[in-house]
Amino acid sequence: MAKILYIGDWAVALGPVFAETPFNYAFKGLETYRYDHYLKGALESSGDHRCDTMPTWDFYGMAPGEYEEALAKYDVVVFSDVELKNFQLAPQFFDRKVFGKGIITYPDRIRLTVEAVDAGLRLMFLGGWLSFSGEMGKGGWGRSRLAEILPVTCLETEDLVESTEGFGARVVDPGFDFDMSTMPPLLGYNRTFPREGATVHAVVAETGDPLLATMSHGGGATLAFTSDPAPHWGCNFVQWDLYEAFWVAALEHLLS
């Protein structure tokens, strides 16, 4: 049984906001949206694996040592809409009480991630506005050492490709025996380039851009799915009758 940690695909909505006077603005309502249940359910659907989930703000807020413990505990870690700043910064850097009281540094989570893959960890990098390069480059994965383990090459600029008509998928690797021809339209994806040494298993039908790719690295392996496993890009995708089977097949391919 693989133990999976899935980071991302949570959101909190504040509002609506009422402007009752020019000086009085009130937030009335707070709601947590959990988009993670679609992929979590799919990864656990075979009964062979267990998936824990974590919002991005909890990942960001991990104290020194906690991320290292997670990397040692889990067999697979999933990042979905987790922009680079969550790896590079720490809440403690913004604690004014510690300013001027010594040098402030913390273990580099990007280095730890790369080293964990070298040691055998499997990673899944999934698409969204804050993945790969992302909206206005906010994802930032390609600007860091994560580029060493990504099975695709990121653009240096915003990479969002979106359409209200959606995009289809086409399997191009005979070794990935899964029919994606009936997949409902994806409303967008992150444009990337194929990477030397990686295997592109499926592409966006209309453009030929990578959709699903994997790569071995050291003792581990990584997977990239350049669209969203959840709404909004995936609002049709999650309704596919083969959604669970697709993710089980992708996970098993990564673990093999």
Domains of the chain: 2-9+36-255 (3.40.50.880)
**pLDDT tens digits, residue range 2-33?**
999 999 999 999 889 999 898 998 888 989 99
Dihedral (CA of 144, 145, 148, 150) sign: negative
**Tokens 């998936």 identify what position?**
51
Looking at the predicted structure, is the pLDDT value of residue 92 above 90? no
Residue 217 CA to residue 119 CA, distance in Å, equals 9
DSSP 121: -
Residue 255 CA to residue 74 CA, distance in Å, equals 13
Tokens matching residue 14: 């504040």
User: Higher model confidence: residue 188 or residue 104?
Assistant: 188
Residue 36 binned pLDDT confidence (cut-offs 50, 70, 90): very high
Q: Could you tell me what percent of the chain has a pLDDT over 90? A: 87
The answer to whether the beta carbons of residues 164 and 208 sit under 8 Å apart is no
Residue 93 binned pLDDT confidence (cut-offs 50, 70, 90): confident
Mean pLDDT of 246-250: 98
DSSP assignment of 174-191: TTS----TTPPPEEEEE-
Give residue 168's pLDDT. 98
The backbone torsions φ and ψ at residue 114, rounded to the nearest 5 degrees and listed phi first, read -60, -45
Residue 154 CA to residue 142 CA, distance in Å, equals 5
Residue 10 CA to residue 131 CA, distance in Å, equals 14
Mean pLDDT, the chain, rounded, equals 96
- Between the CA atoms of 225, 180, 198 and 166, what dihedral angle is there, to the nearest 10 degrees? -50
Give residue 94's pLDDT. 81
- Of 32, 33, 123, 141, residue with least CA distance to 70: 123
Mean pLDDT of 49-66: 96
pTM: 0.95
Give residue 104's pLDDT. 83
The answer to whether the beta carbons of residues 251 and 49 sit under 8 Å apart is yes
**pLDDT tens digits, residue range 197-207?**
999 999 999 99
